[in-house]
Chains A and B, each alone.
Chain A
Amino acid sequence: MRALPVGDGALLVEVGSGEEAQALHAELLRRRTEGSLAVREIVPAARTVLLDGLTDPARLAAELTAADVPPARSPARAVVELPVRYDGPDLADVAAHWGVAPHEVARVHAATEFTVAFCGFAPGFGYLTGLPERYDVPRRATPRTTVPAGAVALAGSYTGVYPRSSPGGWQLIGTTEAVLWDHARVPAALLSPGTRVRFVPVGPPGVVEA
């Protein structure tokens, strides 16, 4: 573990893997809840956790690098189930990358339990991990100018769901009706770091229900 100072009031804690970042994030949230860590933002990412709004980053850096972070305990939160139709325009391309038939992409994806590793890109957009490395796919060579809200997409080892219509370069494999972000709802974000997610198919691939 390395703790890199960021400006005068933040710390970027770097660890060896996504799993370690998730464990560290859980531990830091626990400390904040119990009142032993005063911090404005805790932002987990692929291999790091950023702590912003610290009064004494150097002291925390020394403390964190000396301590052992316990592995993430089995999360207490229930699994969020997202209904999905595997009808995305890139399903065949993804199947080709994986070397399987399109229906097999849907089967593998729906059989996977995902965890929200971190959020970013847009409010409510989670980077979901869970697919094994052999299923990594590249981003599309040319990003789309418009990806519809609810598009279920893959890039690298991540799965994500577009909370609203936006440009995007991920490979689209499906569609969900779930509302990922609604700022009138509490909480506004359906998915936040640490949330467990399953995709539940609601119809055969390629069939759009009325």
Chain B
Amino acid sequence: MTDRALAVVRAGALTTVQDLGRPGHAHLGVPRSGALDGPAAALVNRLAGNPAEAAVLETTLNGCAVRPRSTVTMAVGGAPCPVRVDGRPVAWGAPVRVPAGALLDVGPATSGLRSYVAVSGGIAVEPVLGSRSTDLLSGLGPAPLTDGAVLPLGSPTDLHARVDVAPQPAPPAELVLRVTLGPRDDWFTPEAVRAFTSRSYRVSPSSNRIGLRTEGPALDRAVPGELPSEGMVLGAVQVPPDGRPVVFLADHPTTGGYPVIAVVRPADLPAAAQAAPGTPVRFLEVRRR
């Protein structure tokens, strides 16, 4: 009997378990959660021979190190980083055979923020409402990884990676987020709306899985006071009283009382997940499809 488990040797700054998330429960106050860079998570799953819904690890900035108790296929993608097995450099963005008891070390991101680590069979923690994702806003799903934790692994499927190595987009030097205005752009002055879509912002270090916070010109309101709480979508650009736009990411609250000036196209959100603090951000207004 092989021991299908993964021991966490170095948890890193913030490493969580993520899959496709738990959409469909927003009316109960449950965030959708799931991998912030969905395409990167899907790709490492394919490289490790997993179905798209398998749970992977999402690291933040400085990677993590794990020791599988049985021989597995692993793949690291997303933010580029050095990858080592028992100290030997191995390929990033490609399937890697990791023998039982060997140490796979995911190094610090050389660009971008979040690397993804897939293990054949997937991380098999108990699902909550159909998902294994860690939700940092509401605390659903497994806690972030800690040194010494042991994660169960699922059984590998018969899927075989059809690619040996896969190109992945480089993290952006400048983050351009296409937005459609509304639903509450009329709560801001015309000058504020112009500033929002023409001036440059920067990614704030206080960004997290809940929201990409920005630093830049504060947006003045035309309508004072608080908006009665209303439903929020992924990619909503909410403007709190300090006037600095916050782009809602996967762990965002499902309702909120600050006006949403615009909504980011979903296709642009994976790049937002890889934009390190200080990255310039532009909000590019596009017409609604």
Contact = CB atoms under 8 A, between A and B. Distances in A.
Interface of A: 4-10, 12, 40-50, 52-53, 118-125, 127, 164, 183, 188-189, 192-193
6 contacts: A6-B182, A6-B260, A40-B23, A41-B23, A44-B231, A183-B129
B185 to A, nearest CB: 10
A176 to B, nearest CB: 18
Contact of B263 (A7, A41, A45, A193): A7
A8 B265 contact: yes
B229 A127 contact: yes
A192 B233 contact: no
A118 B26 contact: no
B253 interface: yes
A41 B28 contact: no
A192 B27 CA distance: 8
A122 B26 CA distance: 10
A45 B233 contact: no
Most A CB within 10 A of own CB, among B253, B255, B288: B255
Contacts of B235: 7
Given A7-B235, A122-B138, A124-B29, 17 more contacts: A4-B182, A5-B180, A5-B288, A6-B260, A41-B24, A43-B27, A45-B228, A45-B229, A46-B229, A50-B231, A53-B23, A118-B229, A120-B253, A120-B254, A124-B28, A188-B28, A192-B27
Closest 5 CB pairs of A and B: A50-B231, A120-B255, A43-B231, A7-B263, A46-B228
B129 A188 contact: yes
B27 A42 contact: yes
Nearest to A191: B28
Contacts of A164: 139
Contacts of A122: 29, 138
Interface in B206-264: 228-233, 235-236, 253-256, 260, 263-264
B27 A44 contact: yes
B89 interface: no
B263 A6 contact: yes
Interface string B177-205: 00010110000000000000000000000
Q: For this complex, into which size category does the number of interface residues on chain B fall?
A: 35 or more
Given A52-B231, A120-B255, A121-B253, A192 B128 contact: no
Contacts of B83: none
A121 B236 CA distance: 17
A31 B264 CA distance: 29
Contacts of A9: 266
Contact of A6 (B26, B27, B28, B183): B183
B12 to A, nearest CB: 26
Interface of B: 23-30, 128-129, 138-140, 180, 182-183, 228-233, 235-236, 253-256, 260, 263-266, 288-289
Contact of B233 (A48, A50, A124, A125): A50
Contacts of B128: 183
B30 A12 contact: no
Nearest to B253: A120
A51 B270 CA distance: 23
Nearest to B29: A119
A124 B138 CA distance: 10
Nearest to B254: A120
B230 A8 contact: no
A120 B129 contact: no
A12 B256 CA distance: 13
Contacts of A118: 27, 229, 255
A127 to B, nearest CB: 7
A73 B23 CA distance: 28
B28 A12 contact: no
A50 B230 contact: yes
A133 to B, nearest CB: 14
Contacts of A50: 26, 230-233
Contact of A49 (B29, B180, B231): B231
A182 to B, nearest CB: 11
